[in-house]
Structure 1
Amino acid sequence: MGLHTGVPQLGEEGYTGLDVIRASRIAAAGHGGQILLSSTAAPFISGVEVRDLGTHRLQGLPDLERIHQVLVDGLPRDFPPLRGTVSQLGDARRVVLADDSVLLREGVARLLEEAGFEVVAQSGTADDLLRHVAMHRPDVAVIDIRMPPTHTDEGLRAAQEIREKHPSVGVLLLSQYVEPGYAMALLETSAEGVGYLLKDRVADLEQFGTAVRRVADGGSALDPTVVSQLVGRKRRDDPVDKLTAREREVLEFMAEGRSNQAIAERMFVTLRAVEKHVTSIFTKLGLPASTDDHRRVLAVLAFLRA
């Protein structure tokens, strides 16, 4: 539930305006049982404890919003991070973009800047991308797989060269189609600072921005569609069949590169519950347990590719 006080506009389609959008975004940011207040609504609440959750940028709103939470008996006091917030996604991480489509490139740049990233350079060719990476040393390069001149795998080869020459720079490949082979080629030796997403994911700013940040920070991000294809492959005497539905869900999140904490927040369960699922998964699949996220991703992907 979200509460906001403002001045809506009344038109032929009903109540509209920025304050209506603000109320909607604040409500959508919360979780079940969580009561959120805007900074204008908080002063009107009395007789109960109110917690300041800080400032956040909510999707579709031009300014930062200070959000408060009402604390009352009978409701949880602690919840996962607010949903739909983009103010802390980029946190000034530096990005180089590479796509031969100027329209798409500019669109992605605008989205990333709205999410708090700093786009330091844009490229239309693989060669230009390599020059910009060497010049700017960004935190991450976001690269279209198919680039001039042949529009086949120039982006992939550029990403592999970046990984070899600039290992501190993360690489996130964008693809129009599901091509698991390209994703696996990039992840073959390391899952650190590597990602592969379908271009459709760009439309979901929170999901896209989270993936870019995870790769920039040395993590991995593999598109759920690719993971689903790998998990759904038929194998003889497949150990995956031994997993419960919940364990399969956790397995897919693991393969995407999510940490236990991120999985817990996505599934709305406790961290301890996820840890139990992970232990069970590794036991059933006969994989060596590891607390290192990168080794874990590689182990899971190696199993799924087999």
Structure 2
Amino acid sequence: MRVVIAEDLLLLREGLVRLLTELDCTVVAAVAGPDALLDALDREQPDVAVVDVRLPPTFRDEGLRAAIEARRRRPGTPVLILSQYVERTYVRELLADARGGVGYLLKDRVSDVRQFGTDLRAVASGGTVLDPQVVRAVFDRLARTTPETRLTPREREVLGLMARGLSNSAIAGELCITERAVSKYINRIFAKRDLPPGDTVHRRVLAVLQYLDDISA
């Protein structure tokens, strides 16, 4: 798997290079700024980009904005965003095209090498991965919705696993239930979250977007 890295801190950048090499990835470019990132993506067209949110010159959201621009130039470009905190301003826009191939992880997750590799492969293959800490942060808000739209504890579990990018079969394995039961829960979630019938993958992404709306409310 060919990877481009964008991280301004040299030690972290070199650490990511070594980590990805251990995960049998080929790092084709490791850059420190948004312009260099866009150049590398245009030139290398990697399988996935790993991008820090805060890049020079202002160290605010240049990484996120560069990722959005990269996906505008080449729709569906897989991007895994790394952040020290939950940055909501542009995350919804990053996910909004519903093409998948997007991940948002807090940097602490990189310490779990095996899970990081799993998440990276999921994004590279077109999946959507949302950090479990972000998922957990929204559970209280979901519990405070109106009775008509309130999710049951099991539905919240299923939605949380969906937001982490798990497939129906993986959710079934995680919760020790059947795939048929998972499908029923997901259909109930779609109904309660007012997501009309249509493309299932698109509705899963919309469910994640509603998570982000709930967090920022």
TM-score range, shorter chain: 0.7 to 0.9
Is 1:217 paired with 2:98? no
Is 1:299 paired with 2:206? yes
Segments of 5+ residues of structure 2 without an aligned counterpart are none
Is 1:237 paired with 2:146? yes
| CA gap 1:266/1:206 in 2 versus in 1, 3 angstroms | farther
- Letter in structure 1 aligned against 2:166: R
Give the equivalent residue in structure 1 for 2:72: 164
Alpha-carbon shift at residue 121 of structure 1 (Å) = 1.1
Task: Give the one of 59, 81, 88 matched to 1:180.
Answer: 88
Give the equivalent residue in structure 2 for 1:117: 25
Give the equivalent residue in structure 1 for 2:4: 96
Give the equivalent residue in structure 2 for 1:263: 171
The 2-side partners of 1:191 and 1:168 are apart by 6
Higher strand share: 1
Task: Give the one of 186, 189, 192 matched to 1:278.
Answer: 186
Identity of aligned residues (%): 50
Higher helix share: 2
CA RMSD of aligned residues (A): 2.1
TM-score where L is the length of structure 1: 0.64
- Letter in structure 2 aligned against 1:237: T
- Listed one character per residue, the Cα deviations across residues 134-186 of structure 1 (whole Å, up to 9, x for unaligned) are 11110111000001111011101110111011224211110001223332231
In the TM superposition, structure 1's runs of 4+ consecutive aligned residues that sit over 4 Å from their partners are: none
Higher relative contact order, structure no. (Cα contacts within 8 Å, ≥ 6 residues apart): 2
- Letter in structure 2 aligned against 1:296: R
Give the equivalent residue in structure 2 for 1:49: none
Determine if contact 1:139/1:168 at 8 Å carries over to the other structure.
Answer: no
Segments of 5+ residues of structure 1 without an aligned counterpart are 1-92
The 2-side partners of 1:221 and 1:296 are apart by 15
| CA gap 1:277/1:163 in 2 versus in 1, 3 angstroms | same
Give the equivalent residue in structure 2 for 1:87: none
Task: Indicate the structure (1 or 2) with the bigger Cα radius of gyration.
Answer: 1
SS in 1 for 2:14: helix
The 1-side partners of 2:197 and 2:175 are apart by 22
SS in 2 for 1:257: coil
The 2-side partners of 1:157 and 1:148 are apart by 12
The 2-side partners of 1:150 and 1:224 are apart by 28
The 1-side partners of 2:174 and 2:19 are apart by 23
Alpha-carbon shift at residue 254 of structure 1 (Å) = 1.4
